[in-house]
């Protein structure tokens, strides 16, 4: 049971009020990023009005590959594990039953887990996880994704 307790403790930390507040702070940028990559399956799901309100594993992988986020810590196998963990957690909580797609809220949980994997505890300051997440979002994830989305938009014109 110590392993289960450790996982529960980690989930509480990654879903703390401070972490949720960070996601509110960055909501505009994160929604723009989410929607840009959720549009990847729009052509396949033309009739589905909600098609750009979810993201699948392939779209998530593309996002993270495009943004150069995949590395020795965040591998394809680890990303698949995170995607499954978030989807199972949401299904258990009765939030979302679709295991092949994730909602925006699930995407936020996924970002917290990705940050946790990319920046191991031994490489963090002693401050709470929210400081690590803030720095990662502010300095790496959002600027990189924003730059790519803007370049993609200019290429379409």
Here the tokens at position 132 are: 């690590």
Full-prediction pTM beyond 0.95? no
Under 8 Å CB-to-CB from 64, ≥6 apart: which residues? Answer: 70, 74, 79, 114
How confident is the model at residue 93, as a pLDDT? 54
Q: Which residues of the chain have a pLDDT value below 70?
A: 1-9, 40-52, 89-98, 156-157
Which domains occur in the chain, in start order? 2-156 (1.10.238.10)
């Amino acid at each position: 049971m110590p392993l289960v307790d450790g996982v529960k403790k980690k989930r509480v930390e990654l879903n703390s009020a401070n972490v949720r507040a960070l996601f509110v702070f960055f909501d505009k940028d994160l929604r723009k990023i989410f929607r840009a990559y959720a549009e990847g399956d729009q052509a396949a799901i033309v009739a589905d009005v909600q098609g750009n309100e979810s993201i699948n594993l392939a779209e998530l992988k593309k996002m993270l590959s495009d943004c150069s986020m995949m590395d020795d810590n965040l591998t394809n196998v680890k990303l698949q594990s995170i995607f499954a963990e978030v989807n199972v957690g949401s299904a258990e909580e009765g939030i979302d039953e679709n295991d092949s797609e994730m909602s925006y809220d699930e995407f936020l949980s996924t970002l917290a887990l990705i940050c946790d994997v990319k920046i191991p505890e031994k490489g963090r300051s002693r401050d709470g996880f929210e400081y690590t997440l803030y720095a990662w979002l502010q300095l790496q994830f959002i600027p990189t994704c924003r730059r790519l989305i803007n370049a993609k938009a200019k290429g379409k014109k």
